[in-house]
Structure 1
Amino acid sequence: MLNTPYDYSIYHDFIESYLPFGFLKIGAEDPIMRKLELLMEENDQMLIVMDLTQLKIIYTSKRSMDMLGIEPETNDPQKMMSKVHPEDLHRFGLGRSKLLDLEKDLFISQKGAALLSTNVRMQKPDGEYADHLFQCYLFYSPIPHKAIYYVQINTNIEWFTMPRDAFHYYVGDDVSLFKFPTEALLNLGHHLTCREFEIIELISNGMTSEQIAEQLFVSIHTVNTHRRNIMEKTGKHHISEVTYDLMKQGLL
């Protein structure tokens, strides 16, 4: 486990303190920031605040240097993406697209909050990779202007052994899941293999088992075995239900 589990209500206090100023007047010596920086240092975490409506990072905590080698003042979405492990780039890109879908829905309704939470491997300053939990809390605010703000907590979760072929993933409006990471939280997600995801994506593109087998250079029997495993793992009755759910979650 990490060193100091703590109550994430401090991030709501952070939002309440700095939202009226659009998060533009965050002082490193403010009591709440000194406490947050200490907690994040103890737990190998960093904080990012973004105005999703303007696609602009407003604030990055100083620990971005320790965790990613990125100067806080120079951080932007492209620099964050450059640190993603190549094998996780596709899922990271899908997650960014889903965040924009959530932003649109919240802005249209002009109320509410949502959460997207997943793990992605990120490059450390020494060039090695560490598994990061991304907890992305979005909310609508009419002040200081109408916008969807986004508070992201990155946590190094190398202490947690993710089951093989699994990744943590949650997207929805249950913001009670925006909390200190535990094993139970990290076990929320998907246990589909990369090959199973590949087959689902090909099915969603309208390909038959025969066409998939030909493209992947495997037998039809192998493709159908993967299809049966997908149905058993997801508990769905038809592959169309699987593809619909994954598309809704932003994973296809």
Structure 2
Amino acid sequence: GLAERNTAKTIQSIWEEEIFSRIHPDDLQEKHLQELRFFHFLKSVPEKKRPDYYLIHNMRMRDHSGRYVHILHRMFYIASHSNGSVWLSLCLYNFSMDTSLSCTILNSADGQTLELEKQNCNDLLSDREKEILQLINKGKMSKDIAQTLSISINTVNRHRQNILEKLQVNNSIEACRIAKELHLL
């Protein structure tokens, strides 16, 4: 397995850093991209039907000896907030024998499949949002960004909120990190 036999470990965090550290770097970037694409896909699905869909994605993870093995990653969004936004997700990781499986969205209610394109994520953020994120990455404050781009500080702050929402992060530092991983910066 991924760990030594007869061992167990409790991770004192809701974040997947322990798992991320085992994923092949190329596959980790692809995982983040496809999860974002899946999240944006679900926004177009009626709230009651969202739990019917899940994402499957093949990736490589290091086992206890450091060797990469093929893993099937499945992601489910299983609950939404009262305002309709996605709230709770579940990721499952299993060994995979089928390495040809591409990133796919499955509808468990009717068996329909939708293949996610393995393409760049340049369309996740608008050109203006990318421009603002680049300035944030350089350490610029909203006031300075507003002056540089000749827009109001309120417009800058609205773009910042949109960036955080689209990249599914809580702050600008995380947004810059994810944007770098996805080659948006």
- TM-score norm. by structure 1 comes to 0.35
- When Rg is computed on C-alpha atoms for both structures, the one with the higher figure is 1
Question: Scaled by the length of structure 2, what TM-score is found?
Answer: 0.46
Could you say which structure has the higher helix fraction? 1
